[in-house]
Amino acid sequence: MVSLAHYKPITASERGVAISDHKLTDFTAEEVWQLIDNYRWLVFKDNPISEAEVKDFLHQFGPLTENNRRKGTVLNIDGSKADEGEVLLGEGFLPLHRDGALMGTNVLLVGIFCAEYKNITVGGRTFITDAENALKEVPQEYLDILRERGIEGKPVDSYYLKSADEWHPIPGFIDIDGKSYLNIGFPSPKGEKPSWLMRIPGISDDRFDEIFTTMTSVLMDEKYCYYHEWEEGDLLLFDNRKVLHGREAYRGERRALANIQVLAA
Ligand SMILES: [Fe+2]
């Protein structure tokens, strides 16, 4: 039994919590769920546990994603496909997204564990945003467009299991316990190679740019968005339904993260 009362939120919107006085496995599954429910994401620092321990702990919440992109239940995000021009498994920028949207899976929780982080000279932070509160600053007309039309995504990286030859419809929002949460992947910034393309059906390019320039500046503001500087052994754990996340492009010697997903029942 660990006291949860002394943890304080990271963002001004009161989401995210950093935990350096305990490791994940000091908590019960119920305690971790309570923290996730309150804060949406947890940052474990200074008390590394093994990748196997992370997997065993997360398995308490449901089945873990397994597919032929993974080694068992782990996706190694280690820059190994940078030479093949891949973004996700390379070193590129990943805009805000919800895991599983382009894979057609409903992912409840995501754990990202830092196995190696050596001499990264530029970028490399993972970011997580409190989209729920940030949306209060987004013009209602933009949200209405996303709700009515949804988005369409098209894979560019060969990583995704869906066809790269067609646009795949994705609902703009998902509903959880009577509340709705943004469900979309954002477009890549101009000048960055995309991992996926996206559009809003029936909306012009100019209007699309206007909507996403505004949404990006609000959702990536530090009032709502936490930028994580990795150290080996760190673990990020977040509610993949209620936040959006992404990562900066990076350059340097070696950055190896392990992504583990808990599927919704
Ligand atoms: Fe992701």
- 126 C-alpha to ligand 1 centroid (Å): 9
- 5 C-alpha to ligand 1 centroid (Å): 29
- 1 C-alpha to ligand 1 centroid (Å): 31
d(CA 54, CA 152): 33
The phi, psi pair for 46, rounded to 5°, reads 70, -5
Looking at residue 2, its pLDDT comes to 78
- 99 C-alpha to ligand 1 centroid (Å): 5
Write the pLDDT tens digit of every residue in 38-89.
Answer: 999 999 999 999 999 999 999 999 999 999 999 999 999 999 999 999 999 9
Looking at residue 62, its pLDDT comes to 97
- 109 C-alpha to ligand 1 centroid (Å): 11
- 31 C-alpha to ligand 1 centroid (Å): 24
- 89 C-alpha to ligand 1 centroid (Å): 11
- 262 C-alpha to ligand 1 centroid (Å): 13
Low-confidence stretches of the chain (pLDDT < 50) are: none
Query: Which residue bears the tokens 């599927």?
Result: 263
Question: Please, are residues 117 and 258 in contact by the beta-carbon 8 Å criterion?
Answer: no
- 96 C-alpha to ligand 1 centroid (Å): 8
- 121 C-alpha to ligand 1 centroid (Å): 22
Domains of the chain: 65-230+240-258 (3.60.130.10)
Looking at residue 261, its pLDDT comes to 97
Looking at residue 77, its pLDDT comes to 95
Looking at residue 102, its pLDDT comes to 87
Three-class DSSP labels, the chain: CCCCCCCCECCCCCCCEEECCCCHHHCCHHHHHHHHHHHCEEEECCCCCCHHHHHHHHHHHCCECCCCCCECCEEEECCCCHHHCCCCCCCCCEEEECCCCCCCCCEEEEEEEEEEEEEEEEECCEEEECHHHHHHHCCHHHHHHHHHHCEEEEECCCCCCCCCCCCEEECCEEEECCEEEECCCCCCCCCCCCCEEEECCCCCHHHHHHHHHHHHHHHCCCCCEEEECCCCCCEEEEECCCCEEEECCEEEEEEEEEEEEEECC
- 246 C-alpha to ligand 1 centroid (Å): 6
- 94 C-alpha to ligand 1 centroid (Å): 8
- 83 C-alpha to ligand 1 centroid (Å): 21
Question: Please, are residues 95 and 187 in contact by the beta-carbon 8 Å criterion?
Answer: yes
Q: Which residues have their alpha-adjacent CB atom under 5 A from ion ligand 1?
A: 99
- 3 C-alpha to ligand 1 centroid (Å): 30
- 251 C-alpha to ligand 1 centroid (Å): 19
- 110 C-alpha to ligand 1 centroid (Å): 8
Q: Both tokens of residue 15?
A: 């989401």
